[in-house]
Chain A
């Protein structure tokens, strides 16, 4: 070990393992995590024959598919051995372990982050019986297509149509314009053979707004796109070049009525539309992803500050006092300023992520019982937390890169790939300014409620107390 780094470790005033255990949620959790990491890494999936930095765009995708398949094969084995469910996906693929193996993103991420959760949240019991088992086994690979070339966060503006035909008991999916083509979903391009598609539902000549449908995109044997399906990849991006983001268009593609996910709203055989208890329920998957995202960006920040801090202990620079050796750059207060705030931010956002994850689970349980009271509050909070945490993470990674001088610019530092991943999160699942404005709608309503003397939900309750006597 580098002697400077060793000296830093010798001088540390607290028990590092104690803090590790606290971060993991207990000594047993640390042990489990380490065991899992050991088990996954010993498979050697993360090892590259040629550094992936030097591969072409196509080769990067092929390598990502290979790694993702081996990783999923391993998860499947774990599930059989340990008889576990979704949590294995989360633990192995989420956070830092998954991104260690698939450093520039995985083409199968959306299968477990969006496809399966949407089926769990929006499909009927009968539909879940039909699809979830196959999805868990990876007999089918799915993704989630919502965003269109001309329509992003404002999902009520989506143009893709699903028109019900009562004669054949089918929906006809159609992309009426270029701007209605689905654009960006990970794994959509050449990986997934099924997809949850969000489209405007028409029945009996009336539009009922956006609804989710499960659509087969490719033949299960040949993987050829099915008739009427226009699918492909969107091209090279700033980062996430392993995620296989795709575009998708429909030319009057027919799917059975049972392929509309009908846990909430329904279309009966004769075309009668049965409204969902709340239109907000369609937004469940997006909220789930935003909540998960906050945790994910914490992993990237933890990596970034670890790299930058260790480097700062090893690196010496300049000679502020004559006849004395070059100090470690960690001794410069400007460097401490860059690093310490990064470390604190990891803890601050990690605890906020845990808090909102807990809230998400509570609200989801309340939803199942028909109680939707806290749904708008969760939506508002998940929007702004997604925006702030991804923006802060991008800033932290960039600040850490800069703190390593020119060496931080090397791909071998890991900063450029990390920056690509976190900065992508600033725009996917809702561009950050749009997210903040969604929260603002809730805040303005809360302000007006407070002004009218009405009680406020816990996370905005302060508005009533601190604003008393000011600007009211």
Chain B
């Protein structure tokens, strides 16, 4: 079937990749068995491909679920939020298409031109999402006490918090650590 550079088209492409990989595994196992290898040995020899096929199946499942569940969710949200949620779905689907270009080239009819378009689409999506990046993570609504991070607190006082944390180091409890007298000074003076 011809390649479609749409979310649905990419998801379908991932299903083709998954089915293609499973089919290739079965063919390889059968081929090895025909040479006299036991099923267990043939399975083991094919296991790298089998793990890949399994991953492809899972990717197809996640992409499908993310897309369909979001489609259900956005029916009841505001147009502004709908736009952002769909941008995220697009981004995720396109990202994985670009991550798995080799597989798509092998098992679907995607072309180089399609891939170039996907790359541009991805970069455009990053630009669109840029303005909402902080809003998107604020929406996870994780309190500072739960986040427990000097870098990620809601107020953004990153440098102040890093310094506050640094001062909690037990090494800062005294101006001179005893290791200076025990080791460093004798070492520097050649008396160790």
Binding site for B on A (CB under 8 A): 1-2, 4-6, 8-9, 11-20, 22-24, 30, 33-34, 37, 41, 46, 51, 54, 96-97, 99-100, 103, 302-303, 305-315, 330-331, 333, 336-337, 339-341, 343-349, 351-352, 354-355, 381, 384-385, 387-388, 404, 407-408, 410, 412-415, 433, 436-437, 439-440, 443-444, 446-448, 459-460, 462-463, 466-467, 470-472
Contact = CB atoms under 8 A, between A and B. Distances in A.
A298 to B, nearest CB: 10
Given A413-B151, A463-B19, A12 B66 contact: no
A19 B148 CA distance: 23
B132 A306 contact: no
Contact of B65 (A14, A20, A352): A352
A463 B66 CA distance: 19
Contacts, number: 292
B115 to A, nearest CB: 17
B134 A12 contact: yes
Given A9-B138, A349-B62, A311 B151 contact: yes
Interface string B132-151: 11111111111101111111
A443 B108 CA distance: 20
Interface residues of B, number: 83
Contact of B151 (A8, A351, A408, A462): A408
Contacts of A305: 137, 140
Given A11-B131, A407-B162, A306 B152 contact: yes
Contacts of A306: 137-138, 140, 142, 147, 152
B133 to A, nearest CB: 5
A471 B20 CA distance: 8
Given A310-B152, A348-B66, A467-B20, A15 B15 contact: no
B69 interface: yes
A14 B88 contact: no
22 contacts: A9-B134, A14-B132, A18-B81, A23-B141, A54-B168, A100-B143, A302-B140, A305-B137, A307-B147, A309-B137, A310-B156, A340-B129, A343-B88, A351-B65, A388-B58, A412-B161, A436-B58, A460-B57, A462-B18, A466-B15, A467-B22, A467-B23
B73 interface: yes
Contacts of A467: 19-20, 22-23
B41 to A, nearest CB: 15
B81 A19 contact: yes
B92 A313 contact: no
Contacts of A5: 134, 155-156
B146 A100 contact: yes
Contacts of A471: 20, 23-24, 27
B126 A333 contact: yes
Contacts of B38: none
A398 to B, nearest CB: 15
B121 interface: no
A18 B145 CA distance: 23
The listed residue with most A CB atoms (<10 A of its CB), out of B24, B123, B141, B154, is B141
B54 interface: yes
Interface in B39-54: 47, 50-51, 53-54
Interface in B60-114: 60-63, 65-66, 69-70, 73, 77-78, 80-81, 83-85, 88-89, 91-92, 95
A2 B61 contact: no
Contact of B58 (A14, A30, A384): A384
B25 A440 contact: yes
Contact of A410 (B27, B135, B150): B150
A404 B159 CA distance: 13
B79 to A, nearest CB: 9
Contacts of B132: 12-14
Given A9-B134, A13-B132, A462-B19, A412 B149 contact: yes
